[in-house]
Structure 1
Amino acid sequence: MTKEIYVSPEGRDDQPGTKDAPFRTVGRAQGEVRAAIRGGLRSETTVYIRGGLYELESPLRFDGRDSGGDGSPVRYCAYPGETPVLVGGKQLTGWEPYRDGIWRARTEPGLRFHTLYADGRRVSQARLPAAGYFETDAAEEALLNEETNRHGIRYREGDLPVDGDMTDATVFVWPGEGEWNWFSETKTVSSVDRANRRLTFATPATWSIGEGSRYYVQGSLQFLQAPGQYYQDAANGWLYYRPLSDDADPNGQSIVAPRLKRLLEIGDKDALGPAEHLVFSGLTLACTDFFEEYRMMDDNAERSEHREGLVYVNHAKHVRIEHCRLLMSGSCGIFLDAYASGIEIHRNDISRLGYIGISLNGFPPGKGPFRSAEESYTNRGHRITHNVIEDGGELIGHGCGIFLYQSGDNDISRNRITRMPRYGFSLKGMRYGTMPKEAYGISVTWDNHWDFLHSRNNRIACNDISAVMEDSQDGGMIEAWGPGRGNVIHANHLHDSGIHFSFGFGIYLDDAADDFTVTCNVIRRLYSTGQGKLWMLIFSKGIGNRIVGNLLVDNPHAISAIGSQEMAGEANKGIEISGNIVYNSGYLYYFVNYDNERFASADRNLYWRDGAPCLVAGELPLTPSGDDELDRHIYSLDAWRSLEYGKYDAATIVADPQFRTSGAFEYELRPHSPAYALGFKDIDFESIGPGR
């Protein structure tokens, strides 16, 4: 028999929590569940949360005392047909006109926040420039050193006002000498030297900031010049806001100032056992705060002060989050930390994110209270399926859809990810050259180093990814750097995404990305735009990667379909390539550098470029037939086939693959396509993405 408890905004916590006399708060219902569990409750329990707004003053925390049993979970669910909305902030009212289309309202004493929401969208802080970026000037000659360049930036003549108030200012910047746009930081301004045009930070940036680094400055009333922005004068208790439309009245809008960084906190190390067998279903969770400063990850591990999300999970297992709407976060949508295992995240809408949609984070190699590598493998076995993740990285430039660091044996399939400034997926660990010499009292050697890398045996399958890599460079729609072994990237649809400046890739197996299986993926309509350049559709560094049966179609801006490069002292060899269709998508292969162990095998591919000859490019020990656009060389297919005594692509053909001109899905092959004779297997387009 199921136990039922009810919560309603119109209820009272001194009532019995029945349907006719519900509680007022979820916390009161939680207390009732705990009391029942202490009394020996063994049946399934459901807390029905009625529709309406619940403004939380502190996170809802669940731990081992809230756990259900195997087969008898505790559920916190929306009442059928209704929408409960849990908000981590306070609605602001009492707006009055100020000047020049700007309104203002009083805020609570002591309430300071770092992002704002209006009618379901984020409001940007007042900033210069109002959109896009400035670029840093060269440092003064006397300050040209890496350490000094971490402590601030020098701005260019005319970019910032000569007498502006910088009391509350912060700088959003991409550190890295102007070239690297891999990770962004938000730094507080401590002082301004207008004579030398220098902003000094309160704390140093992680990396040096050289000439040409992109940045903007925010947090001054003087900057509030564009619609859709705000400035908070916390010291005097005023919020200034300019609506998107000049004729809009903010008194008719729902404007929320956040005061929490997380809404649901599942698991507690100090509780008796992990939180488990809990279900959260049909809830809307919205509006959490950002950080005053944000520092990039430390060796790819998120810093402890930035491990936040609308839902935060640690010391928990067998928890299910389903059919929820997770909106307007200051940081992540869901953060699965250290000791989270077996979490199911199914059919949720996750959008308007300050950072990452879903972030999975285990322990860095050698860190944590462990005695062995296997004992440190604590973040694992999650199932993330049929979710829609949109509009990430609104406050942190390296935001992505799903991020895995030292987390493995996960099934991540049939999700849709779109509109991210950096990756769709990122799998990270550490490359061998950066690992500690000893971990848990064990010497780390080449032969055992994979034991310490836990982003392994992940299945990334049947996901739909578009419009990512929109504001960074040297990345990919699916990217990996130094993860563990045995990862599978299968039947994903990567499409309609551009490289907006510098360079980037489709599937990017970066340094020390070893033992990947990349099969049956569809990569189409990727492009270069602005100053950006689409390089390789599949770029394979690492050892022993298998690239089989992929469909690379209609990417005319790509330099090549498949590329490779050895760098940073990490081996790049043993790649197996077969049965791919390359259609109007650049050269067949690109070798930034080459050695005779690079490919273990390459054959039975089909290449077509509107009848043009099949070419291979880069640096090869062959006589070139011309130069490519990266200042290396191009080689004919016959020349490539002569390499290594005819080892490669003897059965590869240059032929039209014969796609159907009509049908339920694009790029289906006609029955007599020559690709079938090469072993190509049809891709099940219906299985890709979340479906209905």
Structure 2
Amino acid sequence: MNRSAPFLLALGLLAGRAGSTGEPPRILYVSPAGRDAWSGRIPAPNRDRTDGPFASLARARDVIRQIKAEESQPGPITVQIRGGQYYLDRPIQFGPEDSGTAAGPVSYVAYPGETPELIGGRRLTEYRTPAPGSPVVFHLPDSGGGPWQFRSLFVDGRREVRARYPNVDPADPFRKGFLYAAAGPDRVAFGVTVSGIHNAGDWLEYRVTLPVDGSYVLWLHYGARNEPYGLASMDGRCAIQVDARGPVPLGDLADTGGWSPVRWSRAATLRLTAGEHLLRWQNQKGGGLALDALALCDEPAWSPGDTALPPPDRGGHLVLRSAKDFVRSHGRQITVSGAGAGPRDAIWCGPGEVHPAWLSTPGAEVHIFQSGDCRAYSEILSIEGYDPKERRLLLGGPEARSALNPGDRYYVENVREELDAPGEWYLDSGAGTLAYLPRPGFGPRSEVIVPQTNRLLQLEGWPSAGAPVRYLRFAGLTFRDTDWARGGASAGYGVGDDGAVYLRDAEACVVEDCRFLDLGAYAVCVTRGRGNTIRSCEVAHAGGGGVLILGSSGNRVTDNHIHDLGEAYQHVGGIVLAGGGASGNTLAHNAIHDSPRYGISLKEPGGHNLVEFNRIQNTGLATSDSGGIEVTQHDRAFRSGTIIRDNLVADTVGYSSTSGTPTYLSWGIYLDSFASGYEVEGNVVCRSWNGGIMLQGGRDNRVEGNLFMDGQVSQGTLANFNQQSAGLQVMGNVIAYSSPGAVAFDTGTLGPGVVRIDRNLYFPPRGALPTFGAAGATTWAEWRRQGRDLGSAVADPRFRHPGAEEGALLPGSPAFRLGFKPIPLEQVGPRTRRCTCRIRPAGRVFWGTEKKTRD
């Protein structure tokens, strides 16, 4: 246990008891009907309106400063805030001079039975009545600080859409309503890779049309990293079949040391006639290739350069195919992904896709889901120009960080001419007008809010003077309608650094029983400081995520309901811990669902965090390479001591697409990079694409007593990334799955000392024995001959609710005989702020209704 733990515990207990010292608090009042010139000591205006509550929280704060200046120990002070709307154009700021003490905390709370709302903007009421089907036009009042600038609009409690093309598809917003980047004229076949074709029996079929009879050389542009598995080349291990003819073995397929396609192989020579042919590439003996292009050329001396192909000499003919353009395929792990090295500042567009108004509108933006960085985030780019000859759209801005490749999905936003769907809007900042195409039911009583601030409360200590903000409590308040800023800490892999309630260098502060609705960034951001509490709150429809803890220790985030996230940026989580100072935090009893990326994420955190009794569902809805609970740790020597236990993690999707063809990569619990020293126990993890657990390259991780259920590809991955893994234990788990093509575990090379795996109960489909995606061990017998699962069993675990994710087992389950302990799932989720949402399991939506090209 780290040495500061007793002090952190004391801070947490004091924060939890704020206001319970026994001394009755002094009470001040704030009301929309109040005046800042009054005393604030009575809850409503008196009869002759000479006294009453304050009008603003800032005035109450200033009066408390006066009280503290006059009294050395003022005792507890509570500000009760009457129901109604409080419009803010800047955050209310609190510093060390506003702090309470352990014996005299300062609280800002809702008046009993009422709901005060802190609104980060201005309400618009006057507009020009349009002709039917035309936009409503608001003439904006003086902003008081130059032209109006805002990225959000809220109408009747709903975030509306800046005018965009294509329009949002409300029935399927993650997969539909996009354009797709085209291939450049010199990159017709490159930039999108087909991988995961490493099992014997996998195949891909292509249709090609040849102009003349002739002898054609088949070239493959590929990458391969099989040497760690004992294969120096793929020569003779795969073949090409033309129409109904026999297979022709392929050669010149030396190992390249990596999976990015970097080399051309002169793989075979085929005698072909003019006309259409069906080519089937076959993996006959196992071992992997990653392909992004095939070429057929009837000029024997022709040779490709890299991806800028010279034309054949002497009137020869060249036919190219992108590897992604297969017409049929077979293979349980085939993945189509944009792993090419496209430009960061341009995409190519299809004929007629670029609208002239995009180029003439200041502030027009391309929102693109890049594929150059693991499809993990989206970028917001400015339009810089257009080359109509090449149909090349030039892009820029601080977020232009990743390679953009053919097939990347995108849309264009903030163009007046695209204002064509109910709920869309456009701000003409120069003219001071807002055009809004109303939804049915819009009228004079509709609430229209334009935000003016990103933050509503700002608590900041003075670290240079050793003066944190301490013992402030906020309870029962609603925070809504804030804005967000482009780029900055949210660009690329950045997790952001902002929140509607922002605490910097704060200690023992409490945010509880609050609602955060329609926000620009995170609901609560805690940076540095320690011992703060965020509990029993609801966060819904945030532009970022729920709670962001940056380098802050000893905090408690408990009993919160956090859902419908990432409406501005997708690289977000319900709760995120980031930075080495993020140690000793407790994340417990939260319900988190419907996130484009993570449920809970730990980014290079400190040690001894506790993640327990959380219910996490429907994550990775818009990004790939994702986890319901995810850890990133690059320090190979660090051992975390963090515990992840008794959580329910369901429907981790990991969605992306190439030209609309889906691709998935996700695990329910994902220990990425070199995350080491974690205990993963007693969790139920179901319906993740790649399985319930990923151990990437870390050491000394223990995975015990979990239920991993219904992964689509596998139930877990033991990657041994960079051959760094050691001391792993996978013991006493129940591993049950029904997908007929799935395996129990996918693995890298598992040499001596990498993993101890035993006492597990396997329940594969249709009474079969489990299979594995492992070098030299694909069957149960081969797996056990390598010394694994010698004390394990294959049997029906006897679920109390068959097919449900609750994971309760009936008495007498054979799992108990192997040491499996009942998982206390009745304790999972919030104990106070319970989730009552009707949740559609995303795994069934994405995988059950998707039309696949695979057999």
TM norm. shorter chain > 0.5? yes
Question: 2:671 aligned to 498, 509, 529, which one?
Answer: 509
**Alpha-carbon distance in structure 1 between the residues aligned to 2:510 and 2:685:** 32
Give SS of 1:27's match: helix
2:784 equivalent in structure 1: 641
1:449 equivalent in structure 2: none
1:420 equivalent in structure 2: 595
1:575 equivalent in structure 2: 728
Question: 1:333 aligned to 515, 519, 523, which one?
Answer: 523
Q: Is 1:315 matched up with 2:505? A: yes
Question: 1:344 aligned to 516, 529, 533, which one?
Answer: 533
Select between 670-679 and 199-208 the one with higher mean Cα deviation: 199-208
2:807 equivalent in structure 1: 667
Answer yes or no: is the 8 Å Cα contact 1:301–1:361 preserved in 2. Answer: no
2:828 equivalent in structure 1: 688
1:372 equivalent in structure 2: none
**Alpha-carbon displacement from aligned partner over 1:183-220 (angstroms, at most 9, x marks no partner):** 22212223344444333334250122222222211001
Instruction: Return the structure number with greater relative CO, CA threshold 8 A, min gap 6.
Output: 2
Q: CA deviation at 1:394?
A: 0.6
Question: 2:700 aligned to 538, 544, 562, which one?
Answer: 544
1:81 equivalent in structure 2: 113
Label 1:354 to 1:661 Cα distance change in 2 as closer, same or farther (>3 A): closer
Label 1:250 to 1:240 Cα distance change in 2 as closer, same or farther (>3 A): farther
Q: CA deviation at 1:662?
A: 9.2
**Alpha-carbon displacement from aligned partner over 1:266-317 (angstroms, at most 9, x marks no partner):** 113377711001100001111111224467557x555xxx522111110111
Q: Which amino acid in structure 1 is aligned with residue 28 of structure 2?
A: I
Q: Which amino acid in structure 2 is aligned with residue 550 of structure 1?
A: N
2:460 equivalent in structure 1: 267
Q: CA deviation at 1:617?
A: 1.9
Give SS of 1:12's match: coil
**Alpha-carbon displacement from aligned partner over 1:152-195 (angstroms, at most 9, x marks no partner):** 33322232324554322011123343x73112221222334444
**Alpha-carbon displacement from aligned partner over 1:25-53 (angstroms, at most 9, x marks no partner):** 11000001111112223311101111110
Q: Which runs of 5+ in 1 are unaligned?
A: 363-378, 430-453, 528-533, 623-634
Answer yes or no: is the 8 Å Cα contact 1:477–1:508 preserved in 2. Answer: yes
Answer yes or no: is the 8 Å Cα contact 1:174–1:180 preserved in 2. Answer: no
Query: If the length of structure 2 is used for normalisation, what is the TM-score?
Result: 0.69
Q: CA deviation at 1:486?
A: 1.4
Q: CA deviation at 1:133?
A: 2.0
**Alpha-carbon distance in structure 2 between the residues aligned to 1:466 and 1:409:** 25
Q: CA deviation at 1:591?
A: 3.4
Q: Is 1:107 matched up with 2:140? A: yes
**Alpha-carbon distance in structure 2 between the residues aligned to 1:409 and 1:257:** 39
Give SS of 1:105's match: strand
Pairing of 1:127-526 with structure 2 (within 5 A): 127-131=164-168, 132-139=177-184, 141=186, 149-164=343-358, 165-177=360-372, 180-203=374-397, 205-245=400-440, 248-269=441-462, 273-293=467-487, 296-297=490-491, 302=495, 307-337=497-527, 339-362=528-551, 379-406=552-579, 407-429=582-604, 454-482=605-633, 485-500=640-655, 501-502=662-663, 503-524=665-686, 526=687
**Alpha-carbon displacement from aligned partner over 1:354-412 (angstroms, at most 9, x marks no partner):** 011111122xxxxxxxxxxxxxxxx2111000000011101112222111111221100
**Alpha-carbon distance in structure 1 between the residues aligned to 2:421 and 2:549:** 37
**Alpha-carbon distance in structure 1 between the residues aligned to 2:723 and 2:542:** 34
Answer yes or no: is the 8 Å Cα contact 2:384–2:394 preserved in 1. Answer: yes
Q: Which amino acid in structure 2 is aligned with residue 561 of structure 1?
A: Q
**Alpha-carbon distance in structure 2 between the residues aligned to 1:458 and 1:292:** 31
Q: Which has the larger radius of gyration?
A: 2
2:719 equivalent in structure 1: 565
Q: CA deviation at 1:588?
A: 6.0
Label 1:135 to 1:142 Cα distance change in 2 as closer, same or farther (>3 A): closer
Q: CA deviation at 1:3?
A: 1.1
Label 1:317 to 1:140 Cα distance change in 2 as closer, same or farther (>3 A): farther
Answer yes or no: is the 8 Å Cα contact 2:650–2:805 preserved in 1. Answer: no
Answer yes or no: is the 8 Å Cα contact 2:652–2:666 preserved in 1. Answer: no
**Alpha-carbon displacement from aligned partner over 1:484-511 (angstroms, at most 9, x marks no partner):** 5112111111124534442222111111
Select between 131-140 and 215-224 the one with higher mean Cα deviation: 131-140
**Alpha-carbon displacement from aligned partner over 1:62-120 (angstroms, at most 9, x marks no partner):** 11001111132100000010011011101111233445342221113422101111122
Q: CA deviation at 1:262?
A: 0.5
Paired residues in the alignment total 619
Moved over 6 A (4+): 142-148, 662-665
Q: Which amino acid in structure 1 is aligned with residue 543 of structure 2?
A: G
Answer yes or no: is the 8 Å Cα contact 1:7–1:50 preserved in 2. Answer: yes
Query: If the length of structure 1 is used for normalisation, what is the TM-score?
Result: 0.85
Q: Is 1:125 matched up with 2:125? A: no
Q: Which runs of 5+ in 2 are unaligned?
A: 1-23, 45-51, 169-176, 189-306, 309-339, 656-661, 833-855
State percent identity of aligned pairs: 31
Q: Aligned-pair RMSD on alpha carbons?
A: 2.5
**Alpha-carbon distance in structure 1 between the residues aligned to 2:737 and 2:459:** 49
1:22 equivalent in structure 2: 53
Q: Is 1:617 matched up with 2:751? A: no
Q: Which amino acid in structure 2 is aligned with residue 319 of structure 1?
A: C
Label 1:324 to 1:174 Cα distance change in 2 as closer, same or farther (>3 A): same
Label 1:610 to 1:277 Cα distance change in 2 as closer, same or farther (>3 A): same
Label 1:209 to 1:108 Cα distance change in 2 as closer, same or farther (>3 A): farther
